[in-house]
Structure 1
Amino acid sequence: MQDVTNDATVALITESAESELSSAIETTSSVRVRTIPPDQALESLRADAAADERPSVVVLESDRPATIRSVLDRVQSVLQTVPVVVAPPEGSERAATAALRAGASEYLAADDPGSKADRIVDTIASPSIDKSAAYHRILANELPDEAFVIGEDGTYFESKVRPDSAALYSTPQDELVGQTFASVFPEDVAARLQSALERAIETDSIQSIEYGADTTEGRRRFEARIVPVEGRIQGQRAVVWLARDITERAERERRLQSRRDQLETVNRINQVVRQVIETLVEAPTQEAIERKVCEQLVESELYCGAWIAERTGEGELSYRTGDGAAQRYLEAVESCDPEDQRPAQRAVTTGEIQRIDDVSGDESIPEAIREAARADGIDAAVVVPISHGGTIYGVLAVVADRNDTFSESEVSGFQLLGETTGFTISAVKNRQLLFSDTVLELEFRVDDGDTFTFYLSTEYDCTVSLEWAGSTADGRIFQYVTVDGVDGETVLEEAENHDTIEECRLIYDGTDSCTLEIRMAESGVRTLAHHGATIRDVVVEDGSASVLVEVPRDADVREVAEALKFVYENTELEARREVDHPVRTAAERRDDVLDQLTDRQLSTLRLAYYSGFFDWPRESTGEEIAEAMDVSPPTMHQHLRKGLKTVLGEFFEESGGTL
C-alpha cells in the first residue's frame, strides 16, 4: 500500500449503514471516508464539485449491474477527473461487465475488506484514469477461465487466462494477440464467433454463445459472454470476451439428457406394450399381431426397422414380417440363410435378449446384412425372444441408427414386449379354437420319443393314456395318466430314475393298472397347447404314440406339426379331418347336466350351495345339511361327491383334456 496525504478523502457510495469497507479504509490509512446512499450520490457529489471539495476517489459498493451503470453515469457527469472504483460485496461476472461498460477506473473482485482498502488507497496514490487501460485491470480482477479484448474484425487485442487454465491452450496466450478468429478456429466455428461478436456491437448488448475448442487435453466446451466496450480501442469498436470452460457442466447436462431420453424411450416402449395388449381384442390372427408390433415400433420414431421370424419345427428361423425405413437391411435379412442368423439363433436357444452395439462390425452377423446395415446407417440392434409359458414362438429384432440406443432399462421394456407378444399370440390361437364351429382334427404318430411314457410302454409292454395335461400359473407342467399293464409301485420306482420326471405321485393303484400325477420338465403337450391346439387323446403303446388334437379350421397345420416335431423328432401327420362342433346354448348344457343327476344328488347340491357349505368360512356344516335331508352325514357326503363329479365331468370332459 502506498502513502497518501492526510487530506485524502473517499466518497463511499453504499446502501449499508455500517460498511465494513469504510471501517477498513479508515483503519489501514489516514484517509477520511464519507458514506453516501446511492439515491443521494449525484446531489452530494455535485455540491462537492461546486465547493471545489472533490473526493480523491469515488468507491461504489454494490453488486447490482443496474445500480453500477446508473451511479457511474451520474458520478462521471460531475467528476470527470476523479477515479471511480467499483467494489462489490460479493462480485460477479455481470457486475464486472457492468463496471467495464460504465467506464470504471478499477474493479475490485470479492475479497476481504482489508485487501480492498489497500487497493483503494493505492488508487488514490496513483489516480490514473486512462480509459484504454481500465479494461486491463477489470479483466485481471474478475476473470473467468479466459478473457480477451477483441476488435470488430475478430483480432485479439488482449488475452488474459487463469494460470490453472493456461496449460490447456495449444497456442500460448501471449501469442494470441494479433491473431484472428479465422487463424485460431476452424472456418465454421470462426464464422459463428465472428457473427456473435458483430451482433453484440450492432445491438450494443451482451451476447452469449457456446463453442468447442481443441486443447492439450482434447476437445473442451466453452461458454462466452460478449460485452461491447464503449469507445474505440486501436481504432476499432471492440468487445470483452469472457469465457468459461463448461466441459464438465456440458457432460453433466448430456448425461442428464441421456437419462431423460432413456426414460422417454422406456415410456414409449411401455406405450407400445399397452398398444399390443389392446391389439389382442382386435387382431384376428398371429400375422396381424406381428405386423402391428413392427409398425408401432417404427412409428415411435425411435427405431428405423423391426422384423419378426418364427421358430420352425427344425429349430430354424423363418422370416415372417418387417417394417421400417431400413429397407436394404430388411431385404438382406429376409434373403439370408436362417442358419447364419447367429444372434437370433442365440436368442431362441437361450431364451435371452441379445444386444448388438455395433451391427456393421459384429462378425457373428452375415456380411451381406452388415453391408446393408452400413448402407442404411444402422448402429445398434436388439433381438428379443417371443415367448409364453416356456414356448418360444420366434424372435423380434429391432434396429436403430443411434449407438446409445438399448440401455438396460430399455432392454427390460423389450423383454416385457416379447413376453406380451407371446402371450397375445397364444391367446389368439386359443380364441380361434374356442369360437370355431368347425375345427380341424389332426392325428399324429410319434415314434421313439425319449420321455417317460415312451420308455414305460417299451420296457413293460403296457399302454399309457393321457387323462389330462396342463400347466400351473408358474409354468410347471402336470399330466394325469392311466397305465394299463403294470402296477403303481413299479411305475413309481421307474419314475424316480427317469430324468424327464421331476415329481410323480400315485393316485390309484390296482393289480395291473394305475393312475398317476406326473410333473415333467418338458412335454409336447404344452407345446401343442401354446400353438392353439386342444388335445383330445394321447395313447402310447410299444414305443409309439397316437396323438389326436383339434385346431381352428384356418390354423397353420404345418406350424403345429413343426412345433410338435421340435419336441419329438420322429413325428408324422397321419390324418387331417374337418369336424363340426355342435353348438349348444347355456340352457341346453344345463339341462344335460340336470338329466345326469339323481334327485338326491341335485337336492344335496342345492342345499349345500344355498346354505353356505361352499363358503369360507362355512355357513353350514355337513352334519347340519345331513340333518336337513334326514340322512346320515356319510350318505350326504356320498351324494355331494357324486353330484359334483357329474357337474365337473361334464365341464372338463366336454372342454377337452387340456383345459
Structure 2
Amino acid sequence: MSEPDTRTPLPEYTRQLEAIVESSTDAILVKDVEGRYRFANEAAAEFLGRDADDLIGKTDRELFGEETAAELRDHERTVLDGEETATFEESLPMDDGERVFETTCSPYYDREGDLAGTVSICRDVTERTVRERTLEDQRDELATLDRINEVSQGIIRALIGEPGREEIAQAVCDRLVETELYQTAWVGEPDPANEKMADVVGAGLNDEIRSLVEIIDASEGSGEPAAIAYHEGEPQVIDDVENDETLPPEMQRGLLDLGYYSGIIVPIRYGDTTYGLLGVGTERRSAFSQREVDAFDVLGDVIGFAIGAVKHRRLALSDTVVELTFRLTDSDSFYVAASEQLGCTLRLEGMAAGPDGSLLFYDAVSGVDSEAVFEFAEDWDAIENVRLVSDHGDEALFEFTVTGSSVVLTLSEFGAKTKDATSEGGEATVVAELPSDADVRSVVERVRAKYPGAELVAKRETERDFQSAREFRRDFDQRLTDAQRTALRASYFAGYYEWPRDSTAEDVAEALGVSSPTFHQHIRKAQRELLGAFFDRNGDRP
C-alpha cells in the first residue's frame, strides 16, 4: 500500500505564495535582466506611491531619475554578474522625503534555467539609519569639541611663556589646522583707516587665501559676516559658501575655486573689548553644529583674554610708557555734551567693571545742580543708570553705568590705562598711558574712527614711578593717625577680619577702651587710607 501524497497542489501552492507576498510589509520587486519591473507587491506600491499595475514595465530611470537609477542598476549588475545574493543599503527619493531601504537582491531563472532577472526584498530602515547617523554625528561632534577644547587649553598653557599677540594668534591657528577638521585658520584686525583686515597671521594660508582675507570689509553696515561678528560680538557661520548672499561675489568665487564650502568667523573679545577676528575655513559642507559654534564662541573669549592679558601685562611691567593726550569736541560724547550744555566740569575719579559688560564711571561734577545731571542723562542711551554717590554742594560725585562706547574703552583695547579725563566747556581732555612698544598710529586712528573730532595734542615718553613693597608700607603708615593705626592692628590680630569673625567690633572696642562708634570711625578711615594708597598708586584713580 503506497503512502498518501501530502504535497500541496500547484494552484493552491501558488495562491498561498501570492498571499504571503501580498501580506508582507517588506517591498518585494521582480525585474527582468533589462531592469524593467515585472512584479511589485502592495507594500512596494505603497512605498513608491503608485498602483502596483502602474509599475509594470517601468524602469528605475523613469521612476527616480538618472542618478538614483544608475546606483540601483550597479547593485543589480553585481548580482546578475555574480549570480549570487547580495544585500545593499539604498536611498530612494519619496514624496515625504528620502527613505533608506535595506535591499536583499537575488538572481532568478526561467524554466529553462536561464538567468531571467532579479528578485528584491526591500525593508524600510530609515528610522534605524537616522538613529545610527545621529549617533555617528554626535560622536564626530564630541570629537570635534574635544579638539577645540584642546586648542583652548593649549592657549592657556602658552600664556606661561608670556607671548605677544602674534604668537598667541599663530598658536591658535596652528592648533586648529593640525586637527585636520579645518584647512585654514587666520586671525586679523580691521585697519582703523579702511576697516579691511590687517595684521593677518594664520595657518594653511597661501597667497590666494590671504588676498581674500585682506579684502574682507569689516565696516559697520557692510553686511559681511566679518562686519557682523566684529560689531555685534556674535560668531557668524557660513554654512554654504555657494549660496550665501552675505558674501561678495568675488569672495564666493575665490573660496569655491579653492575648495572651501563652509566657514565661521568669531569675534576675539574679552568683556567689552574686541581685539580682532578669528576665521576658519573647511572643505566640509555645513560643518558647524550649534555646539561647535558655542565652542568657538568660548574660544574667541579665551583668545581675547590672552591678548588682553599680554597688553596689560606689558603696561604693568614696562619701565617706560608713552603718554598720549587727546582733545575731543564731538557732541555725540556724553561728557563733551554735558559739559557744554550744562556749563559744568566733569572729572573722572575712577572706573570699575559693572554688570553685563557695562562700566561704572565715577565722576566728580561741579558747576551744576545734581538734578540737572539726572535729567540730562535720561536722554542718552549709552547711560544706563545714574546714581548720586555724594553731594558736597560745590561738587558732587556721580556713578554712571555706561553700556555704549567711550574713548576710555577704545583706548583700553590697546592696553592703555586712562590717567586723567576732564570735560569742560564742550571739550574733553583724556590722558592715557600705553606700553612703549604700542602702535601709536593705530591707537590714534582707532580713536579718530570712533570720534572724528578727536585730536592728539601731546605725546611723550616717561619713566614709570615704581614703588617697592617696603616703600608702600612706609607711605601708608605715614597716612595713618596713631588711633587709626592702633585700631587697624588690634582688629587684625584679634581676628576681626576672619570669616566668621573671631572678635566683634564691640570686643575690639572694649579691649581698646573706646566706644563702638569711635572704633568704627577709626577703622573705616584707616581702611579708606589703605584702599586709597593702593588704587591711587596703581593708577586706578586718575
Which residue number in structure 2 is paired with residue 447 of structure 1? 329
The structure 1 residue matched to 2:214, chosen from 328, 331, 334, is 334
1:620 counterpart SS class: coil
- 1:203-218 alignment, distance < 5 Å: 207-211=86-90
Does 2:257 align with 1:381? Answer: no
Residue in structure 2 matching 1:301, options 177, 180, 190: 180
Aligned residues: 528
Q: Is the 8 A contact 1:437 1:581 kept in 2?
A: yes
Partner of 1:611: 494
Matches within 5 A, 1:380-419: 380-419=262-301
Is the CA contact (8 Å cut-off) linking 1:359 and 1:370 kept in structure 2? yes
Q: Tell me the distance in 2 between the aligned counterparts of 1:259 and 1:275.
A: 24
1:402-551 equivalent positions in 2, closer than 5 A: 402-459=284-341, 461-486=343-368, 488=370, 490-492=372-374, 494-496=376-378, 500-522=382-404, 523-551=406-434
How far has the Cα of 1:200 moved from its partner? 6.4
What SS does structure 2 have at the residue aligned with 1:434?
helix
Return the alpha-carbon distance in structure 1 between the equivalents of residues 94 and 280 of structure 2.
39
* Code of the aligned partner of 2:186: W
More moved, 184-193 vs 535-544: 184-193
Q: Distance in 2 between matches of 1:641 and 1:245?
A: 82
Q: Which runs of no fewer than 5 residues in structure 2 stay unpaired?
A: 60-65
Could you tell me which residue of structure 1 aligns to residue 62 of structure 2? none
| Shift, 1:370, TM fit | 1.5
CA distance in 1, matches of 2:30, 2:381: 81
The 8 Å contact of residues 328 and 375 in structure 1, kept in 2 or not, is answered as: no
Post-superposition CA distance 1:394-448 (Å, at most 9, x none): 3333333333223333333333233333233222221222222332222222223
* Partner of residue 565, structure 1: 448
Match of 2:121 in 1: 243
Q: Per-residue deviation at 1:311?
A: 3.7
**CA contact under 8 A between 1:470 and 1:526: conserved in structure 2?**
no
Change (3 A) 1:590 1:192: same
Say which SS state the counterpart of residue 474 (structure 1) adopts: helix
Shift of 1:568: 2.8
Please tell me whether the aligned partners of residues 24 and 43 of structure 2 are also in contact (alpha carbons under 8 angstroms). Answer: no
Q: What is the rounded CA distance, in whole Å, between the counterparts of 1:534 and 1:582 in structure 2?
A: 15
Change (3 A) 1:216 1:467: closer
After TM superposition, give the deviation of residue 194 of structure 1 in Å: 3.4
After the TM superposition, which residues 345-356 of structure 1 pair with which residues of structure 2 at under 5 Å, given as runs? 345-356=227-238
> Aligned partners of 2:343 and 2:37: how far apart in 1?
103
Residue 8 of structure 1 is matched in structure 2 by: none
Shift of 1:548: 1.7
Q: Name the structure 2 match of 1:358.
A: 240
User: Relative to structure 1, is the Cα distance of residues 407 and 449 closer, same or farther in structure 2, using a 3 angstrom cutoff?
Assistant: same
- 1:287 maps to 166
One-letter amino acid matched to 1:293: V
Q: Does 1:556 align with 2:406?
A: no
Q: Judge which range, 218-227 or 381-390, deviates more.
A: 218-227
The aligned residue for residue 63 of structure 2 is none
Deviation at 1:629, TM superposition (A): 1.6
1:218 Cα deviation after fit: 9.0
* Structure-1 residue corresponding to 2:514: 631
- For structure 1, which runs of at least 5 residues remain unmatched after alignment? 1-51, 58-82, 84-122, 178-182
Does structure 2 retain, via aligned residues, the 8 Å contact 1:332–1:369?
Answer: yes
Q: CA deviation at 1:652?
A: 0.5
- Do the aligned residues in 1 keep the contact of 2:483 with 2:522 (CA within 8 Å)? yes
Q: Which position in structure 1 is the counterpart of 2:469? A: 586
Secondary structure of 1:372's aligned partner: helix
| Deviation, structure 1 residue 128 | 11
Deviations 1:177-214 (A, max 9, x none): 9xxxxx9996676455434555564xxxx542334568
Cα distance between partner residues in 2 of 1:140 and 1:479 = 81
CA distance in 1, matches of 2:525, 2:297: 47
Q: CA deviation at 1:526?
A: 2.9
Contact residue 317 and residue 394 of structure 1 kept, 8 A: no
Answer whether contact 1:471 1:526 (CA < 8 A) is retained. Answer: no
Counterparts of 1:370 and 1:333 in 2: how far apart (Å)? 12
- Range with greater deviation from structure 2 (243-252 or 413-422): 243-252
Q: CA separation in 2, counterparts of 1:521 and 1:406? A: 31
By how many angstroms is 1:241 displaced? 4.1
Return the alpha-carbon distance in structure 1 between the equivalents of residues 228 and 67 of structure 2: 53
Distance 1:503 1:149 in 2: 78
The residue number in structure 2 matching 1:62 is: none
Correspondence for 1:161: 40
Q: Which structure 2 residues correspond to residues 1-16 of structure 1 after superposition, within 5 A?
A: none
Q: CA deviation at 1:271?
A: 4.0
Taking a change above 3 Å as real, the CA distance of residues 192 and 605 of structure 1, as seen in their structure-2 partners, is same
- Give distance in 1, aligned partners of 2:299 and 2:96: 44
C-alpha spacing 1:583/1:247, structure 2 compared with 1 (3 Å) = same
Larger radius of gyration between Structure 1 and Structure 2: 1
Give the C-alpha shift of residue 320 in structure 1: 3.1
Query: Which amino acid letter does the alignment assign opposite residue 551 of structure 1?
Result: L
Using a 3 Å threshold, how does the CA distance of structure 1 residues 269 and 233 change in structure 2: closer, same or farther?
A: farther
Indicate whether 1:234 and 2:116 are aligned: no
How far residue 533 of structure 1 moved from its aligned partner, in angstroms, is 1.3
Larger relative contact order (C-alpha < 8 A, sep ≥ 6)? Answer: 2
The C-alpha deviation readout for 1:483-539, integer Å capped at 9, x for no partner, is: 344454554554455554333333333343232222233332233234311111222
**How does the TM-score come out when normalised to structure 1?**
0.68
Amino acid at match of 1:299: E
Q: Partners in 2 of 1:639 and 1:288 — Cα distance?
A: 51
The one-letter amino acid of 1:568's match is Y
Q: CA deviation at 1:608?
A: 0.8
Superposition deviation, residue 653 in structure 1: 0.5
CA contact under 8 A between 1:386 and 1:421: conserved in structure 2? yes
C-alpha separation in 1, matches of 2:475 and 2:206 = 59
1:145 aligned to which of 13, 21, 27: 27
Say if 1:317 and 1:345, in contact at 8 Å, map to a contact too.
no
State the shift of 1:166 in Å.
3.8
Q: 1:232-254 CA deviation, whole Å, 9 max, x = no partner?
A: 96345899744314363445544
1:487–1:657: structure 2 CA closer, same or farther, 3 Å change rule? farther
Distance 1:455 1:128 in 2: 101
Task: Report if the CA contact (8 A) 2:330-2:453 is conserved.
Answer: yes
User: Partners of 2:68 and 2:236 in 1: how far apart?
Assistant: 44
Q: Does 1:655 align with 2:533?
A: no
Give me the whole-angstrom Cα distance separating, in 2, the residues matched to 1:149 and 1:494.
85
Asked if the contact 1:382/1:397 (under 8 Å) is kept, the reply is: yes
